[in-house]
Amino acid sequence: MLSRVSAEFETPDLAEAAVRKVKERCSTVHSAGIISSRTAEKASHLNSGTVYTVIPTAVTSHNYYTSVLESPAAADVVPEPKRSRKASMYIVCDSMDINNVCAVLNAMGGSKLHSAI
């Protein structure tokens, strides 16, 4: 019978390493996957960018006068909970290997381990 084991890791790199290690140690792994936050990836790319802010400064009868502020972008633009790089992963394996898979995931730093038959 097939079972699904899921765990959470601090970074997608740790989750990938754990999947590789489980596939090496357990021969009954049918599939595996990693789910990570795309918002966190976007926040990490903001460090080298620039933010432009357009501020209306005066209104005349013909037009708006505006001012443009240019500032370096930072990851602080994205709120803290969305900046988290945590990644969830799952492994589908035979039910007789659940203990081995959980042991490897725990040893690799996995948290919130959950298994379902």
The 10s digit of each residue's pLDDT in 5-43 is: 999 998 888 889 999 999 998 888 999 998 887 766 666
Q: In whole angstroms, what is the distance from residue 58 CA to residue 3 CA?
A: 65
pLDDT value, residue 5: 92
pLDDT value, residue 27: 86
Please give the model's pTM, rounded to 2 decimal places: 0.63
Task: Evaluate if residue 107 carries a pLDDT over 70.
Answer: yes
Options 3.40.50.10800, 3.30.70.120, 3.40.50.720, 1.20.58.710; CATH for 1-37+85-117 is 3.30.70.120
Q: How confident is the model over 47-86, as pLDDT tens digits?
A: 666 666 666 666 666 666 666 666 666 656 656 655 667 8
Q: Where are the domains of the chain?
A: 1-37+85-117, 41-78
**Spatial CB neighbours of 9, under 8 Å, sequence gap ≥ 6:** 15, 18, 86, 87, 88, 89, 108, 109, 110, 111
Give Cα 13 to chain centroid, integer Å: 10
Length reported for the chain? 117
